[in-house]
Structure 1
Amino acid sequence: MEEIEPIDTYIYEEVNSTNSIASELAREAFKRPILVVANKQTAGRGRMGRHWYSPANSNIYMSLVLKLNAMVLYPELITLYSAVCVWQVIGETVKESLGHLWIKWPNDLYWEDKKLGGILTESLYSAGKPEFFVIGIGLNVNSDKEEIQRQTDLVWTSLRAETARDYKRDSLIAGITGTILKDLYLLSEPDRITKMWKERTRTIGARVKVITGNYEFEGLAEDIDSKGHLIVRDAFSGDRVTISTADIVHIR
């Protein structure tokens, strides 16, 4: 297991997006892993360019920049790996309520049928090749449930709303950062990452609607491949379809 190397930490009261700030810092002068944390985001981003509601004084908005190296042999699995790390830290925190927590393909953290958080991974390129990756994590921690629902049409929740207690955001941030850095060696072991991810998801074995561009279909989510792509059996054609980027909706 690799030792955790020092990191450069930047803490802000307000930013447009921690991923944007982290990307700028990496391009300016990257010496070691960079952690960017903000109390509030004015233009937080989720997958597919969606807005991420980011009020002050309640939740976690953080981005971690790492440099691709010989240890990271499968960078395409970074999102799945990061989701497992966040799941682990939350699980150690809520303990008796761990059974409610699961990962929805590919990057969302759910508490039963309500979204708790998400991960946005972006690559930074140099000379046409990826040089850094930015792991952006948004996690609803101490938000009031009703406030969240007033601001979004999705079914969201927070740790506080589900467990009726407040949490120390700095402790969760430290735990998430440390876990990601400590176990990076797993990015050279795709079978272990996919196994760990599948043990923590409810997507595999579920009936899902796949929405990609102007096309959508329904089917059974059967597996993920070694790159983290979702394999769905089309309910109409019977074909196995490999999905790299899409929205999926679990069908009850």
Structure 2
Amino acid sequence: DPRAYLTALAAYVGNHPKGEIRQGIGVVDATADGAGVSVTLGDGARLHAGRAVIANGWEAYDLLARMGGGRGVAVGGRRVTGRGVKGQAVLIDIAHDDDLPILYDSGSYVVPQGAGMGADATGRASRIAVGSTSTDAWLDDGVAMDGSALEAARTGCDPADTGFLDHAVTFCPALSGAPIAESWANIRPRNTIADAITGKIGTEPATGPVDGTDRIRLAVGGFKIGFGIAHLSGAHAIGL
């Protein structure tokens, strides 16, 4: 139940004596010095902390490119670069037990959700997420977007683009004919650095301290596999 998880996380941070959540304010720069990390926000405010973790998804790439005086940052000797890839998915309304596995084939995932995402009259979980598309060209080249225009491009759904669902039905026939309860879209971070083992581009997350300082750490990437490795990336990013 990702929504309940994020709600609980936000409540924890908001209730922590040193916790604060500032929504809708971008980060312009982050610089490590001998005493910690100085962070400049989009509204001009400056914050200081002993350590900082950069984990703001696809929007991290522009921030990372500005850091180091425009030289960018590296992890493990490799400069971290990437792009945002739009993905569209659906929630299917079908009652199910809590012990079902995650299914995958050729780019389509079937992910059963907990009852917090939706339940039938008896309390059984009734939402299964199916996704997703992958769209690189979701922004018009050379057209500056911000505010509502960027939000529309980022979260707008194409009702005709459901090939991933058609394919999911072929390997999970129980989905056939079940109604779509909700559709959504958003942007995922895809690193454009080669995997150290396979050499493939875009599959490896970047986690851990940036080269040259232990005070700034990253947790970015993990394209399409974030729900399986997010807890590991987070633990590695903070040095557990």
State whether TM-score is above 0.5: no
If you compute each CA radius of gyration, which structure gives the higher value, 1 or 2?
Answer: 2
Q: Identify, as 1 or 2, the structure richer in helix.
A: 1
Greater relative contact order (CA < 8 Å, ≥ 6 in sequence): 2
Larger strand share, 1 or 2: 1
TM-score, normalised via structure 1 length: 0.24
